[in-house]
Amino acid sequence: MSNTNQVYPVIWQEDRVVLIDQTRLPAEYTVVEISRYEDMAEAIVTMIVRGAPAIGVAAAYGVYLGAREIQTEDRSEFLNQLEKIAEILRSTRPTAVNLFWAISRMLNTARQTLGPVDYLKQVLLEMAQTIQAEDLQTCKDIGDRGLEVLPRTPEKLRILTHCNAGALATAGYGTALGVVRSAWSAGRLERVYADETRPRLQGAKLTAWECVHEGIPVTLITDNMAAHCMNQGLIDAVVVGADRIAANGDAANKIGTYSLAIVAKAHKIPFFVAAPLSTIDFQLTDGSLIPIEERDPSEVYQVGETRLTPVGVEFYNPAFDVTPAEYITAIVTEYGAVAPSELQQFQTKQAV
Catalytic residues: 243
Query: Order of strands, edge to edge, in the sheet holding 330-333?
Result: 218-221, 189-195, 157-161, 237-240, 271-274, 330-333, 336-338
26: phi then psi, degrees, rounded to nearest 5: -90, -5
Q: Confirm if 322 and 124 have CB atoms less than 8 A apart.
A: no
Closest listed residue to residue 102, CA positions, set 78, 124, 121, 69: 124
Q: Confirm if 104 and 283 have CB atoms less than 8 A apart.
A: no
- Before 94, cis peptide (omega within 30)? no
Q: How far is it, in rounded angstroms, from Cα 288 to Cα 317? A: 18
Q: Confirm if 350 and 280 have CB atoms less than 8 A apart.
A: yes
